[in-house]
Amino acid sequence: MTTEDLDRLIDVLFADLKLEMPGADDPTDPQEALARYREATSKYPGGMSAHQDEHVIRSNMFQSIQMEVRSGWLTQGHFERLLKRLSKKEGRDEYLQWLAQLQAHRARLAQQQHRNSRKEYKPLFSSKQEQILSFLQQKPSGPGPLVEEFKQREDVRKRGIDLTHALIYEFEWGFVTQQSEIYDFYVSHVWRHGTERYIDRFLSGWKEEVDHEVEAKRIQTWGDFLISFDDGISNFSCLSLGNLVGGEKGRSWIGLEFLVRIFPVLAAKVIDPKYKFARDWRCV
């Protein structure tokens, strides 16, 4: 797309939105500028609000057309025909409808790709049956070689991480600590490669797991088990889960579902820089 093509596209999309601003000079006072803009848009059907909404819609159309041209999907011949259609309201409405359908189709494809990648993703580790049983029966193994390795790290000592009063369950892949009904999860691969770099990815991964569990109708909300989630920053761990009401129901879910099925796949995705989570944890 040439500069001339861009100018033609802008003219077609925004020609009827141009305003004749009252006053000879550009106002420097924001209040005066707003007053002039409100006066100018008073002649537009629906007033200032309608004009702003329409401007946003046209801007989105402009950006989408640019993307289609860059992707090679929209050839020059298609572009010329599209310009003619967009010059009329009916053509713009048709394009918006097509664009909405295209975006919905792409969203469905992206979701399906994530489902497929989840099915094919290999767990980073597995736990022995007797270790899971010990966790369920609340029979801690105590600190082993991996706990000692973790405690000897300089970054751990600097943060003053104290596991003295925690119940410790050590596995081949790392360990879990329990203090009251709060469980912290530590993976050796993570602390050996810099825990802090993975914090955001564990947060995003947890949100993705919430979506998958609800989507599969295994649960309606995490409130069904009264399990709380927190990042592991304070204890320099991967993440923390809280069994809010205590008792066997929450502990059973953490042991049989999270430790056995969810966490191994979640950890594998987190350490794989090529894996893109469906949404960032910062997005609600």
Calculate the average pLDDT of the chain: 82
pLDDT at 192 > cutoff 70: yes
Mean pLDDT for the stretch of residues 169-183: 94
* pLDDT bracket for residue 206 (50, 70, 90): confident
Q: At what angle do helices 263-271 and 199-215 cross, to 10 degrees?
A: 140
Give the start-to-end residue ranges of the domains of the chain. Answer: 3-112, 129-271
pLDDT of amino acid 267:
94
pLDDT of amino acid 100:
76
Per-residue pLDDT tens for 1-57? 677 888 888 888 888 887 776 665 665 677 777 788 788 888 788 888 888 888 888
pLDDT at 220 > cutoff 60: no
For the ranges 42-46, 81-85, 165-169, 219-223, the lowest mean pLDDT is seen at 219-223
- Determine if the pTM surpasses 0.85: no
Per-residue pLDDT tens for 221-280? 555 555 777 888 888 999 999 887 666 778 888 898 899 989 999 999 999 988 888 766
* pLDDT bracket for residue 86 (50, 70, 90): confident
pLDDT of amino acid 217:
60
Q: Which has the higher per-residue pLDDT, 189 or 31?
A: 189
